[in-house]
Copies of this chain bind each other. A is one copy, B any other.
Amino acid sequence: MQTLTVQLGERSYPILIGAGLIRSRELLTQHLPHLRQRDLLLVTNTVVGPLYAQALRQSLPAQRIVEVVIPDGEQHKTLDNAAHLFDVLIANRFGRDALVLALGGGVVGDLAGFVAACYQRGVDLVQVPTTLLAQVDSSVGGKTAVNHPGGKNLIGAFHQPQAVIADTAVLTSLPQRELAAGLAEVIKYGLMRDAAFFDWIEQHIDALRAREPQALSHAIRRSCEIKAEVVSHDEREQGERALLNLGHTFGHAIEAATGYREWLHGEAVGTGLLIAADLSQRLGQLSPAAVARVRALLERAGLPVRPPALGAQRVLECMRIDKKVQAGRVRLVLLQGIGRALLSADYPDGLLQQTLVAHFG
């Protein structure tokens, strides 16, 4: 088992990474003493719950466990489902010392995290992410939210977990498409911050797709290290943290325009990375060779590189409702090289338009 710490002063917390963690009462009790003697709300979904909830429950030293199983899918990350979880907490008279445990992917983690953030103005939270994407991204850093018909993650809170437990063994049951979606975020970390890690991913992409434990473990660890470092510097996204949104503004627009159904979040982000690279090249900041490397790596990861023909105008409208708009202008994360992302609102609208037409028609 490996342990990382997200450094946030008194809100610091560990990320545990290893195979079989959720089946080890000994490890959980040793590393997470706050799990003991607690009222615990276990939130999971209809896909993950049947596979892992029972095993996890047997490893938990908590006194009382109430389990809520929500349907699988992004369309269930709603304020209505949050309200349902509040109802369950209150019906069971859970107090301010209760703990919410999220067992699932990003949807479960974001929803359960939002509920933990707001129940009695904040109760403890432990994330047990079960997808690669959640292990390397959404479970770390304290962003929680639910969606609104008008846009993704528009209602939410910053609420850091007490711990993140990334059990790499659960990734064996992950569909190939979801594995690829998680790899998109892994590639993002290399692209934004660490050229050597990008090189490493290029060299190990086949091992990652084959789920070789050591390769996965390294990819998760390095991704979490980068995210933890960025979040430690800028918890509330006043600056540097926005770089983690590389590929996301384009990706969110794809998701929104397709109703959050056809594209997985990670798939949309992957394509968004390529569009961000392409725009950076049109701005003269990135070489054509670098763009080609991004495209090739996404393809080898099994990710789509062509978005649907939504039309540039439609995509622009979706981008404008995204949270990154400031003073009416969309701020974009662009690239100055592999491993070097920067935030910019200073780009010619014509070049953005050109880029969108090239990708979305």
Contact = CB atoms under 8 A, between A and B. Distances in A.
A126 to B, nearest CB: 19
Given A79-B83, A86-B148, A148-B86, A93 B320 contact: yes
Nearest to A320: B93
A158 interface: yes
A289 to B, nearest CB: 36
Copies of this chain in the oligomer: 2
Contacts of A157: 117-118, 121-122, 157
B150 A323 contact: no
A96 B158 contact: no
A31 B154 CA distance: 30
Nearest to A148: B90
Interface in A321-352: 321, 323-328
Contact of A151 (B90, B145, B150): B90
Nearest to A95: B325
A156 interface: yes
A156 B325 contact: no
A121 B96 contact: no
A152 to B, nearest CB: 11
Taking each of A120, A153, A320, A324, which has the highest tally of chain B beta carbons within 10 Å of its own beta carbon? A120
Contact of A150 (B90, B95, B153, B155): B90
Contacts of A95: 323, 325-326, 328
A4 B121 CA distance: 26
B93 A156 contact: no
Nearest to A325: B95
A119 interface: yes
A97 interface: yes
Interface residues of A, number: 36
Given A79-B79, A121-B143, A143-B121, A154 B90 contact: yes
A95 B329 CA distance: 10
A19 B150 CA distance: 41
Interface in A112-165: 117-122, 143, 145, 148, 150-151, 153-158
Contacts of A321: 90, 93
Contact of A156 (B90, B97, B118, B328): B118
A266 B148 CA distance: 36
A321 B96 CA distance: 10
Contact of A323 (B91, B96, B151, B154): B96
Contacts of A91: 150
Contacts of A150: 87, 90-91
What 8 pairs across the A-B complex have the smallest Cβ distances? A90-B150, A121-B156, A95-B325, A120-B323, A118-B155, A96-B323, A86-B155, A90-B148
29 contacts: A79-B79, A79-B83, A79-B86, A86-B148, A86-B155, A87-B150, A90-B148, A90-B151, A90-B321, A93-B320, A93-B321, A95-B323, A95-B328, A96-B324, A96-B325, A96-B326, A97-B326, A119-B155, A120-B154, A120-B323, A121-B143, A121-B145, A121-B153, A121-B156, A121-B158, A122-B157, A122-B158, A122-B236, A157-B157
Given A86-B154, A90-B154, A118-B156, 7 more contacts: A87-B150, A96-B324, A96-B325, A97-B327, A118-B155, A118-B157, A119-B155
